[in-house]
A and B are shown apart, each in its own frame.
Chain A
């Protein structure tokens, strides 16, 4: 096999889509050709960058709610598929209108409109759902951070090094609580919480991984029943997430440590944020 043939097969080789004899032939060629090996490494690296570092966008809760409405209308007994989709449109257009106003209005008005929309959509009964959604997202972000084969983008145990690293990478300045007691700062990265950028700050607490997420709360529904509460806790897949607010910023602390211990740590962090 020559270089031209090998290069043409590299993508399928990486995806393990080649027939066994061809896979073997490419593999043998790579063993003896540093240039093609480098090209193969470049393919693999690009895959890893795209899979692990490209921000992953999940459907926001409000979109999910509207899609559920559409699905519900499509399932309605006696509704023809065409009618069902048509019937689902009016309430959705209203939601669109709110969003469009929020998009084009002045920022302060936009924040108010978006928050009011969130409050309307997340009524008392839906409070638990809203918190569960926030919790699931925080736990997913924590899992993404701890399962990443890469170290944090800024690896440091010094808060005064991690905090300034976020400058220019985020449109807000998160507080980075320093080490204390058994908690050790590991570093920070830029990630996502739902549809917005987040500071992902990682710590260890004894042998447990702890992730602190900081993001702008604008447009997110803080459960109405919890209006007076300092912090909220959600549990998902055995992990706990404690949320608190500090001005425009929301923070979420996630770990699998005992919920009481996590809440005490969150209270200490909230004092520092």
Chain B
């Protein structure tokens, strides 16, 4: 028995093609982060420029996806800081959404509210999403994208418990905004 054999346990590094398979999803998030098509293109391009420098160190698979989204978000925060638009406060969602505790929103008060919500159109959801702070938009969009809470935590650099509470508050705020549009 060849007990001295060394078996490589690490999967081979991801290729540019593996990374490019996420371009649409990254661009989608970038559009909702930057709110501008050209800025979103810049952001995705910057993301890939950074990613390709270190791609060989990451295995293809779910890990690659979370890693790319993390790069995109960090690149976005860097751009914001550089542009000196508004100082980025990672906790602004918790304060900004304080009025929208999960489970207390208007649209849970009756079936009529729910019925009204069904008439919401894409432009209204997009507008409601725009009113949320950056952190909240990211958690809501990644969640819908199928990321687990652990993966969202990887992207945001925070524990799962924090993701859970941010997501609940962000979705509650989103419902509240949407319900306002339909009044």
* Chain A interface (Cβ < 8 Å from any Cβ of B): 7, 11, 17, 35, 38-39, 41-43, 45-47, 49-51, 53-60, 62-64, 66-68, 70-71, 73-75, 81-82, 84-85, 88-89, 92, 96, 99-100, 103, 153, 169, 189-191, 195
Contact = CB atoms under 8 A, between A and B. Distances in A.
Question: Chain A binding site: helix, strand, loop or mixed by DSSP?
Answer: helix
A270 to B, nearest CB: 27
B23 A59 contact: yes
Contacts, number: 131
A54 B125 contact: yes
Contacts of B108: 35, 38-39, 42
A190 B126 CA distance: 12
Say what secondary structure dominates the interface of chain B: helix
B38 A99 contact: yes
A60 B38 CA distance: 10
A56 B167 contact: no
Contacts of B114: 38, 41-42, 45
A63 B41 contact: yes
Contact of A49 (B26, B55, B56, B120): B120
26 contacts: A7-B102, A11-B168, A11-B171, A38-B110, A43-B171, A45-B114, A46-B178, A54-B125, A54-B126, A54-B144, A56-B28, A57-B31, A58-B24, A58-B27, A60-B41, A67-B44, A70-B49, A74-B16, A74-B55, A82-B53, A84-B52, A85-B52, A88-B49, A92-B45, A169-B121, A195-B37
Interface of B: 15-17, 19-20, 23-24, 26-28, 31-32, 37-38, 40-42, 44-45, 48-50, 52-56, 102-103, 105, 107-108, 110-111, 114, 117-118, 120-123, 125-126, 129, 140, 144, 148, 167-168, 171, 174-175, 178
Given A46-B174, A59-B23, A71 B17 contact: yes
Contact of B52 (A47, A53, A66, A70): A70
